[in-house]
Structure 1
Amino acid sequence: METDTGLAQWLGAKVAALRYEDLPAQALHWARVGIFDTVGVTLGGSAEPAAVLTARALDSAAGPALRLGTQQRLGILDAALVNGTAAHALDYDDSSNTLGGHPSAPLVSALLPLAEQLDSSGRDFITAYAAGFEAQAKLGLAVHLHHYRKGWHPTATLGCFGAAAACARLMSLDAAATATALALAASFASGLKANFGTMAKPLHVGHCARNGLYAARLARLDFTANAASVFEHTQGFLDVFNGPGTYDVDKARAAWAAPYDLVAPGIAVKQYACCGSTHPAIDAMLALVREHRPAAEQVEVIDVAIHSRRLAHTNRPRPQGALDAKFSLQYVLARALVDGQVAPADFEDPAWRDARVAAILPRIRAVAYDDAGVHADRFGFGQPGLPPLDPANHFAGYVALTLRDGRVLRAGVDQPLGRTSAHPLPAELLRQKFMQCAGMALREDAVGAIADDLAAIDALPRITMLTTRIQEAARGGD
């Protein structure tokens, strides 16, 4: 390991050196999946209020970059901002265990407008995406879990570095300029979890996509920043955002491409358009519904346990709006019970006010399974067919339904379907999700061909071939 250079310089050298030919087949596969899924959810979120209002607040001028889901073209920084907000507006975009957030939305949103301006190829795009993914993931490895628990939104605070690295790679910046882009990103990084459940959360993604792209463009013009020690300085990123003794840079240095984070643990592709922390409990509840078909009026109490790291921002017994409902463990479980599914439309007005759901919310008791009390009797940990209690596993979920006749129905999952590359969402479900999301903005007859282009993005000679096809298929105007 090179330990005589600052982290920004070390990352800059790694990013600048990455080539398409360096990427193993599995990394290329998962990069295609991440890009495919992200374009789909961006199209699905393009008409959401957060994205529309973000665009409306700009002094927008015509430019070379497509605002996905519309016919409008913007300057590339504005397009990154609006598309990034749209990418996260449904909270349906992929997640990363290592990043502690959503890896692809900042990367794809920053890269698409830049690729249009540069007339980049699909191979160049996928290489830049992989470089940005690895950079932000390894930073996550260095600063977590303290960074996450402190209240930062890693999608934005670390995604800004990923977007800067990806854009620097797409521009073919050398190691020094890439390090400068990362140093600038350190001053642009922001995002607080206190804003979860509001439009500010998807705006975090748009903001970091724009800022990462801006940092790379500034670096190309020889703008200066403290690339030598912006991370390590006593008033630098690590000590200010985390604090002394709460990070380990050597973990990041040792793990670069060993393996690529895209490969393991991989990206988590969502089945549900809500906070990923609720997904294991949803899977457990739906398993009970499919097997036992309990009527809502038969259920006296619903007990649910997820990890404390995840319960902290999802324990919302009385959601106060459609966006808040995306972060309410109680809401999604009640919805899964009454409908046997959790769909994107469940997080719109007036669906979140559904009286059937509201009647169930007071019956739900949520706890953290890593608390001092194990709650063994309630959840039946260790019983046949149920996963064992493992406080080190942050991705499990346990549900117990106590029925009015005294029976208790229990289910649990170690992790939700799609959470890692070892437990992937099946290809047919991935494409089904894309068709559903893209169909919210595009003509139905055009969606299949666009899906095919995206699925083999590195075969495209020019990214503009894809964006032009998307623009022509948009049902709406600006």
Structure 2
Amino acid sequence: MSLADQLAQRILATQFEHFPAEAIGWAKAAILDTVGVTLAGAREDAPTMAGAALGVGAAAGPCLVFGGSRRVDPLSAALINGTAAHALDYDDCSNSMGGHPSAPVLAALFALGEQSHSSGRDILTAYVIGFEVEARIGRAVNLYHYEKGWHPTGTLGVFGAAAGCAKLLGLDAARTAVALSIAASFSSGVKANFGSMVKPLHVGHCARNGMYAALLAREGFTSGAEVLEHKQGFLNVFNGAGNYDSSRLFDGWGAPFDIVAPGIGFKQYPCCASTHPAVDCMMELRRKHDLRADQVALIESWTHRRRLEHTNRPEPRSALDAKFSVQYCLARALLHGAISIDHFEGDAWKDAATHALLRKVQAATYTEAQFPPQNHFGAEVRVTLTDGRVFSAKVDQALGRDASTPLSPEMLRTKFVDCSARILSYERIERLHAVIEGFERMADVSEMTALIDTSSLAGKRRAVG
């Protein structure tokens, strides 16, 4: 029996009743967070251009494009909304996957669910399964896969989207295995495109293609039989022989589900997660010692080499590039005691005060004397003042990185309101929050998307005023 067949059997066997309360709770938190960041990113250039480039290829249909009232076909909606969900780099993370788990799966499920009039319970089931599949493949291929230069959100997210859509469509085991095999040929995304519009496009692309794989399988499309394990299949081509462990696909399946442990990570800041532990350190130092930028002579930052490879950008060249600059993020954190969406909007990345501080920031990789070898999520920051005083802070991982250090429900709610208020009125946001809180009781996902549709807000004052 092929690896795809074995995954398909588990996908088919897993039902809503098998999920503990914690899994449902985390899944609803992920839906809340993903809806919020998708709304916040909906009018960014990347999703706007992605939608425009589709042109007549985006047919009229039943599926909402977040941020407005336009409705298109499911595949186009998945691509545009998936790109929007990752446009601000504010969406959730998974340590097992090594990427962003929810945006690829939920962008596909919301669109397919609208077309199919799926219930909240069915979408929750499909989402947790999609999460489990992409995380399981992540366990099998990481960290080699990540370090090689693949962007796991794209390369693995397509499997999560395919698995979730196959479950939502009610495909049998044989067709589900085909959907996963097709997804292997759709898998793509390289880290060289970090700091550009292509990175969020990876999410839209894999959400669309994961759904497309499931739809093709439903039609009776055929695929290779051993596409994951074949000598020229996914595992050997993307990782190479000896650089993966296929047994980790199945060991302890659902015991616990990956969304519970190690769990899902929610972001405090709208920038690359690899900058977050250093930012947490700076926030602590600023708060504890009342630091001001004009007092600072030198800022030294240490993060894991794997994180610094894509965040050591002392001279960011665009707003998107700034999201991947640990130097820029530390400067903003010191200057403002916060990092907001506005810090990456328009020409904000050119801010003179921020760039003056950038020249004082030195970033390096930390040593085993600072953190144990198995820790690759920590950071240390040391600030030297002009009067000679030195302050330092250290964290093992950023707040919210996984279930062991979660953001509070109040923090998640505040983030959701702040993000959604860029599009919706506060009255609408409250109603939307309530619907998501009771997501498993929703008869049709259109109950949620109707609240996101802005057509009924025409002429009314939105939260952004």
* Pairwise same-fold verdict (TM > 0.5): yes
Distance 1:398 1:7, change over 3 A: same
User: Is the counterpart of residue 307 in structure 1 residue 301 in structure 2?
Assistant: no
Give the Cα separation in 2 of the matches to 1:252 and 1:194. 27
Give the counterpart letter for 1:33 in structure 2.
Answer: A
CA distance in 1, matches of 2:435, 2:59: 29
> Contact 1:44–1:441 (CA<8 Å) still a contact in 2?
yes
Q: Which amino acid aligns with 2:16?
A: Y
Deviations 1:367-412 (A, max 9, x none): 11137xx4xxxxxx5xxxxxxx223111111100011111110001
From 163, 170, 173, the equivalent of 2:171 is 173
2:345 matched residue in structure 1: 348
Structure 1 contact 319–325 (Cα < 8 Å) conserved: yes
1:121–1:229 CA distance, 2 compared to 1 (3 A): same
Displacement of 1:256 in angstroms is 1.5
Cα distance in structure 1, aligned partners of 2:304 and 2:256: 26
For residues 476 and 72 of structure 1, the distance between their equivalents in structure 2, rounded to whole angstroms, comes to 13
2:28 to 25, 28, 32: 32
| Structure 1 residue 475, shift from structure 2 partner | 5.0
Match of 2:233 among 232, 236, 242: 236
- 8 Å Cα contact 1:165-1:181 kept in structure 2: yes
**Structure 2 stretches of 5 or more lacking a match?**
460-465
Give the alignment of 1:142-157 within 5 angstroms: 142-157=140-155
Q: Is contact 1:441-1:474 (8 Å) kept?
A: no
Asked if 1:129 corresponds to 2:127, the answer is yes
Distance 1:39 1:178 in 2: 27
Once residues 476 and 277 of structure 1 are traced to their aligned partners in structure 2, the CA distance between those partners, rounded to angstroms, is 39
Counterpart for residue 385 of structure 1: none
Partner of 1:114: 112
Q: Does 1:213 align with 2:217?
A: no
Pair 1:471 & 2:449 matched: no
TM-score by length of 1: 0.94
1:334 to 331, 334, 338: 331
Matches within 5 A, 1:69-468: 69-226=67-224, 228-370=225-367, 374=369, 381=370, 389-468=371-450
Amino acid at match of 1:178: T
Give the letter for the 1:316 counterpart.
Answer: R
2:150 and 2:455 mapped to 1: Cα distance?
Answer: 38
What is aligned with 1:50?
46
Tell me if structure 2 keeps the 8 A contact 1:69–1:474.
no
For residue 61 of structure 1, report the CA deviation from its aligned partner.
Answer: 2.1
Residues 67 and 454 of structure 2 are in contact (CA less than 8 Å); yes or no, is this contact kept in structure 1? Answer: no
Instruction: State the AA in 2 paired with 1:437.
Output: C
Cα separation, 2, equivalents of 1:207 and 1:189: 9
**2:362 match: secondary structure:** strand
Post-superposition shift, 1:444? 2.5
Cα distance in 2 for residues equivalent to 1:312 and 1:476: 45
Q: Taking structure 2 as the reference length, what is the TM-score of the superposition?
A: 0.97
The one of 8, 19, 25 equivalent to 2:4 is 8
Moved more, 102-111 or 389-398: 389-398
4+ runs deviating over 2 angstroms: 472-477
* Residue segments in structure 1 that go unaligned for 5+ positions in a row: 375-380, 382-388
Whichever residue aligns with residue 213 of structure 2, its letter is: A
Moved more, 439-448 or 146-155: 439-448
* 2-structure distance, mates of 1:6, 1:280: 40
Partners of 2:397 and 2:341 lie apart in 1 by: 21
TM-aligned CA deviation for residue 36 of structure 1:
1.1
1:92-126 deviations in whole A, cap 9, x for unaligned? 00000000000000011000010011111100000
Query: Structure 1 473/409 Cα, relative in aligned 2: closer, same or farther at 3 Å?
Result: farther
Cα separation, partners in 2 of 1:235 and 1:116, compared to 1, 3 Å: same
Deviation of residue 474 (structure 1)?
A: 6.8
What is the count of residue pairs matched by the alignment?
A: 457
Paired residue secondary structure (2:300): strand
Give, in angstroms, the shift of residue 472 of structure 1. Answer: 4.4
2: CA distance between counterparts of 1:433 and 1:294? 26
How much does 1:343 deviate? 0.6
Measure, in 2, the Cα distance between the counterparts of 1:476 and 1:47: 17
Q: For the Cα contact (< 8 Å) 1:66–1:79, is it kept in 2?
A: yes
Structure 1 residue 476: deviation in Å?
Answer: 7.0
Q: Distance in 2 between matches of 1:451 and 1:294?
A: 37
Shift of residue 363, structure 1, vs aligned partner: 1.2
Q: Percentage identity across aligned positions?
A: 53
Aligned-residue offset at 1:234: 0.8
Q: Distance in 2 between matches of 1:117 and 1:463?
A: 9
Paired residues of 1:138 and 1:255 also in contact (CA < 8 A): no
Residue deviations 1:338-366, cap 9 Å, x none?
Answer: 11111111011221111111011111111
The answer for the alignment partner of 2:462 in structure 1 is none
User: For 1:251, what is the secondary structure of its paired residue?
Assistant: helix
- In 1, distance between residues paired with 2:35 and 2:436? 8
Aligned-partner SS, 1:57: helix
Q: Is the 8 A contact 1:443 1:474 kept in 2?
A: no
3-state SS, counterpart of residue 261 of structure 2: coil
